[in-house]
């Protein structure tokens, strides 16, 4: 029988402390479309003998890697793992098999895996093999550590963050579309961190034409995967010399292929107002994109908000005033107060000389 954690599972460590340590092992990992997982092997007395994280898709799973490091010490051990061990063959064999074969006595799990290929099967296999299983230890912290994964596996859609840099009075660009450097280096580095947490970064044609961005992660020492650029194209042609074209972009079109983009993957997603953004986001979700960052201009940001596709907003407010004639943060109609969208502000912080505001949008799933 699965049971809830008791206060003193080990003499030396409480299980929740060990689980937090397992979460910490995942820092800097980016294994999407797989989840971030950390695993620790402990002796019956609570002494840590091995600890590992799942670093990248295709690399060893955390449990298998930790068990391999533990060697014969894994027999009779307790394994603390942030996520229910997988029960299916993917690029690597099931972790349940590795745990059973290693002779583990007990497995302490942070949260069940909502992936339909696991979804309780991992726990059942362990229990059928006579392993004691404890679930639900630091579950909220485990989920918060990889919100996008749990969102993706539950809804089929990627977790979508809309990030925009604004003047203090909320304008996204000057009327002549010169908007760069509204914010300082710290805010821009935060933008690069958001890219590093994302599998894809979306912009509209307007941003490609105005700014010619690269949308890659440029942080000193960063060695993780680069997010794939995604262009939402409309009536205007995407310039053949756009910097993004050298970064293997995916281009959503309103119908026929954009001209002059030979060799670039193009997907038709026609909608009434250009590209059907809901179809585009669902396409990304079906193709293993777990976390999306929208870094486009106000048109794409507003359209994504109106379509109910945005889960989180990050606005950086710089120390400049736009004085009213520039572009809004997001386009839309604000004729009367009921047109406004309600968000939940979760965090406000100074970031260098700028302000960072993070808000979430609750949606029916
Ligand atoms: N402050 C910031 O953080 C930030 C970030 C990015 C950009 N910007 C600024 O924003 C300005 C560009 O703004 P923008 O609004 O034109 O850029 P955008 O939102 O990136 O691009 C909008 C364009 O995307 C195409 N599109 C196709 N389907 C669409 C759909 N369903 N919904 C919305 N757009 C669709 C349309 O192209 P067609 O017109 O060709 O049909 C549309 O005009 C530039 O000045 C840039 O510097 C600021």
Model confidence pLDDT, tens digit, residues 212-250? 999 999 999 998 999 999 999 999 999 999 999 999 999
pLDDT tens per residue, range 164-176: 999 999 999 998 8
> Which ranges constitute the DSSP H helices of the chain?
15-24, 62-70, 95-101, 121-128, 139-144, 147-155, 185-196, 205-211, 277-286, 298-306
Q: Where in the chain is the domain with CATH 3.40.430.10?
A: 150-360
Query: What's the gap in Å between 299 CA and the centre of ligand 1?
Result: 5
Within 10 Å of residue 115's Cβ, how many Cβ atoms?
A: 23
Whether pLDDT at 264 is above 80? yes
What pLDDT is attached to residue 3? 47
> Phi and psi at residue 101, in whole multiples of 5°?
-65, -30
Q: Where in the chain is the domain with CATH 3.40.140.10?
A: 3-145
For the chain, give the mean pLDDT. 92
Within 10 Å of residue 274's Cβ, how many Cβ atoms?
A: 20
- 234 CB under 6 A from ligand 1? yes
Annotated catalytic, 63? yes
Query: What's the gap in Å between 297 CA and the centre of ligand 1?
Result: 4
Whether pLDDT at 178 is above 80? no
What pLDDT is attached to residue 156? 95
* Alpha-carbon span 202 to 215, nearest angstrom: 9
What pLDDT is attached to residue 46? 86
- 164 CB under 6 A from ligand 1? yes
Probe residue for ligand 1, chosen from 229, 274, 276 as the CB with the greatest number of ligand atoms within 8 Å? 274
* Percent of the chain whose predicted confidence (pLDDT) is above 70: 95
- 296 CB under 6 A from ligand 1? yes
What pLDDT is attached to residue 312? 97
What pLDDT is attached to residue 324? 85
Average pLDDT over residues 324-353: 92
Asked whether the beta carbons of 314 and 357 are under 8 A apart, the reply is yes
What pLDDT is attached to residue 255? 92
What pLDDT is attached to residue 8? 53
Q: Give, as one character, the DSSP assignment of residue 98.
A: H
Whether pLDDT at 365 is above 60? no
Q: Which of 51, 63, 84, 197 is catalytic?
A: 63
pLDDT tens per residue, range 38-68: 999 999 888 999 999 999 988 889 999 999 9
The dihedral of CA 249, 255, 261, 263: what is its sign?
positive
pLDDT tens per residue, range 115-147: 888 788 899 999 999 999 999 999 999 999 999
* Fold category of 3-145 in CATH: Cytidine Deaminase; domain 2 (3.40.140)
Average pLDDT over residues 67-95: 90
- 210 CB under 6 A from ligand 1? yes
* Fold category of 150-360 in CATH: Dihydrofolate Reductase, subunit A (3.40.430)
What residue owns the CA closest to ligand 1's atom 48? 297
What residue owns the CA closest to ligand 1's atom 37? 234
What pLDDT is attached to residue 62? 94
Whether pLDDT at 192 is above 70? yes
What pLDDT is attached to residue 181? 77
Half-sphere exposure of 254 (CA within 13 A, CB side): 13
What pLDDT is attached to residue 129? 94
Residues in contact with 205: Cβ distance below 8 Å, sequence separation at least 6, in sequence order: 231, 232, 233, 234, 236, 238
pLDDT tens per residue, range 284-298: 999 999 999 999 899
Residues in contact with 178: Cβ distance below 8 Å, sequence separation at least 6, in sequence order: none
Higher pLDDT, 357 or 257: 357
- 4 CB under 6 A from ligand 1? no
Residues in contact with 37: Cβ distance below 8 Å, sequence separation at least 6, in sequence order: 26, 31, 53, 54, 61, 62, 63, 81, 82, 83
Question: Among the listed ranges 15-24, 255-264, 302-311, which one has the minimum average pLDDT value?
Answer: 255-264
- 314 CB under 6 A from ligand 1? no
Query: What's the gap in Å between 338 CA and the centre of ligand 1?
Result: 25
Query: What's the gap in Å between 47 CA and the centre of ligand 1?
Result: 55
Whether pLDDT at 1 is above 50? no
Diameter of the chain by CA atoms?
Answer: 69
């Amino acid at each position: 029988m699965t049971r809830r954690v008791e206060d003193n599972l080990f003499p030396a460590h409480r299980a929740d402390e060990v689980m937090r340590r397992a979460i910490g092992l995942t820092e800097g990992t980016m294994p999407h479309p797989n989840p971030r997982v950390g695993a620790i092997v402990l002796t019956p007395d609570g002494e840590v003998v091995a600890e590992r994280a799942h670093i990248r898709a295709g690399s060893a799973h955390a449990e298998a890697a930790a068990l391999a490091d533990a060697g014969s010490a894994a027999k009779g051990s307790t394994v603390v793992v942030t996520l229910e061990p997988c029960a299916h063959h993917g690029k690597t064999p099931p972790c349940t098999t590795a745990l059973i074969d290693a002779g583990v006595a007990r497995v302490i799990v942070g949260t069940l895996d909502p992936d339909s290929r696991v979804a309780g099967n991992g726990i059942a296999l362990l229990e059928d093999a006579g392993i004691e299983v404890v679930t639900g230890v630091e579950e909220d912290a485990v989920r918060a550590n990889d919100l996008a994964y749990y969102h993706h596996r539950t809804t089929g859609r990627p977790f979508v963050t809309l990030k925009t840099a604004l003047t203090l009075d909320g304008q996204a660009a000057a009327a002549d579309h010169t908007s760069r450097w509204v914010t300082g280096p710290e805010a821009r580095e935060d933008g690069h961190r958001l890219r590093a947490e994302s599998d894809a970064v979306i912009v509209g044609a307007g941003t490609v034409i105005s700014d010619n961005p690269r949308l890659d992660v440029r942080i000193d020492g960063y060695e993780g995967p680069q997010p794939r650029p995604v262009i939402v194209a409309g009536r205007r042609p995407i310039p053949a010399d756009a910097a993004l074209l050298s970064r293997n972009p995916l281009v959503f079109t309103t119908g026929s292929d954009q001209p002059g983009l030979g060799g670039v993957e193009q997907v038709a997603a026609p909608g009434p107002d250009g590209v059907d953004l809901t179809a585009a986001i669902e396409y990304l979700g079906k193709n293993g994109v777990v976390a999306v960052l929208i870094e486009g201009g106000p048109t794409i940001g507003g359209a994504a908000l109106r379509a109910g596709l945005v889960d989180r907003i990050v606005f950086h407010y710089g120390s400049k005033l736009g004085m009213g004639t520039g572009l809004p943060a997001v386009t839309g109609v604000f004729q009367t107060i009921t047109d406004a969208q309600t968000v939940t502000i979760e965090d406000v912080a100074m970031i260098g000389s700028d302000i960072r505001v993070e808000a979430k949008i609750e949606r029916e799933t």
